[in-house]
Chains A and B, each alone.
Chain A
Amino acid sequence: MSFPWAQEYKPQGTVSKWVDERLPLPRLVYNAVGAGYPVPRNLNYFWNFGVLAGVALVIQIVTGIVLAMHYYASVDGAFNSVEHIMRDVNAGWFLRYAHMNGASFFFIVVYIHIFRGLFYGSYKAPREMIWLLGVTIFLLMMATAFMGYVLPWGQMSFWGAQVITGFFSAIPLVGEPLRQLLLGGFAPDQAALNRFFSLHYLMPFVIAGVIILHIWALHIPGSSNPTGVSIKGEQDTVPFHPYYTAKDGFGLGIFLIFFVAVTFFAPNMLGHPDNYIPANPLSTPAHIVPEWYFLPFYAILKAFTVDFGIPFTGVIIIEAKLMGVLAMFGSILLLFFLPWLDTSPVRSGHYRPLFRKFFWFGLIPCLVLLTYCGGKPPYTQWVILSQIAAAYYFIHFLIILPIVSRIERPLPLPNSITEAVTGKPLETAAA
């Protein structure tokens, strides 16, 4: 599609020719994920996770649609209908556990996918649009997973809905009316449950649409690669099929082994037992935590406990509550600006000694710490640790990254992908 040496689709039989002239869909597939799409020859397994995320979405859609055939979105019946799926529906336990753990695995895969982008600088020119669409997909996924988690109408479902819609009440003036508009009442109830079900059904298809744009944008420059060096010629690439269909297929097998192992042997490992207690609007569980994939953001939310104002005057500029909510959303929205915060022309972290230090010894421990603190009760020591980690998160992206990009002396880059792979200079390898 994007390179002159890409193999051309040649329909063989008369039927293929007939179809190709009328609706060149096979041609599109051939050029997108077939032999017609040249891909760097040196991709490592981190480049497998985009395909895995796509598979995870398909798993969610397929299992979700069949769950919806048995699920009943009513405050009196939802919890029981999920138990009915678990106990009475043939293979219902499997479908539900697959959907429940499918969501977790979807996030695992997407987090690794994002990690790949962060380390190898995939967000840089000319791939900014791919990155922006990716962050959009991430936001949509979070909304989808949140609404799905409300559906079983257990204790965590209910209080999750209460707390997360509570974020909106932090907005000055319009906050509380907005929250009531979103819930369709004063607290989560029938109206909220029903609309969450409707939207939970819709959003995955919206995600699928944005994924198509994401891949469209990807196919214009083509994939980046672990060296971050652009493709110089045909010798730097191999056709997607059969090379990467095979590699991705192997990775998929490994992924599915982990997925079914957890689904069959530890299906509730990543969940929370309180969600097997029916929702009780009069009693909050002693320790409410979101699903594990939201923990870092939850920790940022909880890190803000005092108002921000002018000291000793009592003038409050931003309330702690609003600040926490802004910081939490800000921590994700910030990713939209990443392509313009990191101005270094070198993409791959392999050739950026200073960037790499801050990445491994700053950002990664900071994210681990946030995830850990997010799951802890709001005791002073955890709050202080979250505050330190949250501060580092913002400093890393807003201050360290722009400065590092300016002062760092990158290591010498290989002249081409082929040179990096074979160790031979470009001319001999090309010959």
Chain B
Amino acid sequence: MSTVKKTKSTGKKPVKAPKGPAAVALNADKATSGGITADDLGVENNDQAPGVRRRDFIHIATVSFAGVGAAAVAMPLVSQMSASADVLALASIEVDVAAIQTGQSIKTSWRKQPVFIRNLTPAEVEEANKVDVGGLRDPQTLADRTKPGKENWLITLGVCTHLGCVPLGAAAGEVKGEYGGYFCPCHGSHYDTAARIRKGPAPTNLVVPEFAFISDTVVKIG
């Protein structure tokens, strides 16, 4: 307030403000020195004073309010991107595995992603169990990755955990890599007979989806 007073004494002569709101607006600069003063508006209008001004509060409040509004609008704009209801609805499938012979595997599709169902040979099971789990990049035993009593049924996503290619080894005649399981040709990841990562850039074992045997020969995935 002191500043306003000072301006008055050193600055321009007070001018009589014309009547009416429009006139006040047109002479906004005169308004503070003449007609309507900061005092009349009940605010401290000392812009030059250091420290927090009362007007800062209304600035912050206005910007925060607008910010909350913008964030509220951004929410649907971002969330529209995530998987829609119909995509999520493809949640589970049932597969009859009776026809898969020992040593064979099939590819099927779950949530638009390939799934490998492999009937391991006893030799492959043994090879998987021989491995020192502690030395693996993603330590898991074959038992961790299969169902009790059904260790020969290795069910994994056919999605390389590196950057998502479909590894080779599920179809007849495809290379199985240095560890006899799967081989991803994209950047050279080798998986063993329990589909564990053994060599190459992939960080984890092939993902075992949630699954259960709902009868002796039917698996429900998802």
Which A positions have Cβ atoms within 8 angstroms of B?
159, 162-167, 169-170, 180-182, 184-187, 189, 191, 195, 281-284, 286-288, 301-302, 304-305, 307, 314, 316, 319-322, 324, 377-379, 383
Contact = CB atoms under 8 A, between A and B. Distances in A.
A195 B81 contact: yes
Given A184-B84, A195-B81, A305 B185 contact: no
B129 interface: no
B201 A284 contact: no
Please name the 10 residue pairs, one residue from A and one from B, whose CB atoms are nearest each other, closest first.
A166-B163, A378-B188, A284-B165, A166-B164, A163-B163, A319-B203, A162-B164, A284-B166, A320-B201, A185-B87
B190 to A, nearest CB: 11
B158 A163 contact: no
Contact of B166 (A166, A283, A316, A377): A283
B165 A321 contact: no
Contacts of B186: 159, 163, 284, 288, 378
B5 interface: no
A311 to B, nearest CB: 13
A257 B83 CA distance: 46
A75 to B, nearest CB: 10
Contact of B82 (A163, A184, A321, A383): A184
Nearest to A163: B163
Nearest to B115: A282
A146 to B, nearest CB: 14
A191 B84 contact: yes
19 contacts: A162-B163, A164-B163, A166-B162, A166-B164, A184-B81, A184-B84, A186-B113, A187-B159, A281-B112, A281-B113, A282-B158, A284-B185, A284-B186, A305-B201, A307-B137, A314-B134, A316-B137, A319-B203, A321-B163
B82 A282 contact: no
Contact of B112 (A187, A288, A319, A321): A187
B83 A286 contact: no
Given A187-B111, A321-B161, 10 more contacts: A169-B164, A186-B111, A191-B83, A282-B109, A288-B185, A302-B187, A305-B188, A319-B203, A320-B203, A321-B203
A184 B83 contact: yes
Nearest to A168: B163
Nearest to A166: B163
A321 B109 contact: no
B34 interface: no
A48 to B, nearest CB: 38
A191 B88 CA distance: 12
Given A162-B165, A195-B81, A281-B114, A377 B203 contact: no
B165 to A, nearest CB: 4
A281 B162 contact: no
Given A281-B112, A307-B137, A377 B165 contact: no
Interface in B190-222: 200-203
A328 B164 CA distance: 17
Interface string B32-48: 00000000000000000
Contacts of B161: 321
Nearest to A186: B111
Contacts of A181: 78, 81-82
Contact of B165 (A159, A170, A304): A159
Contacts of A324: 201
B30 interface: no
Contacts of A287: 185
A316 B131 CA distance: 20
Nearest to A378: B188
B165 A189 contact: no
B147 interface: no
Contacts of A180: 82-83
Which of A165, A187, A189, A307 lies at the interface centre, i.e. has the most chain B CB atoms within 10 A of its CB?
A187
Given A166-B162, A281-B109, A377 B185 contact: yes
A186 B187 contact: no
Given A284-B185, A319-B203, A185 B83 contact: yes
Contacts of B78: 181
Contacts of A165: 164
A169 B84 CA distance: 20
Contact of B188 (A170, A182, A383): A383
A174 to B, nearest CB: 13
Interface in B93-137: 107, 109, 111-114, 134-135, 137
Contacts of B165: 159, 162-163, 284, 288
Contacts of B200: 305, 378
A305 B200 CA distance: 5
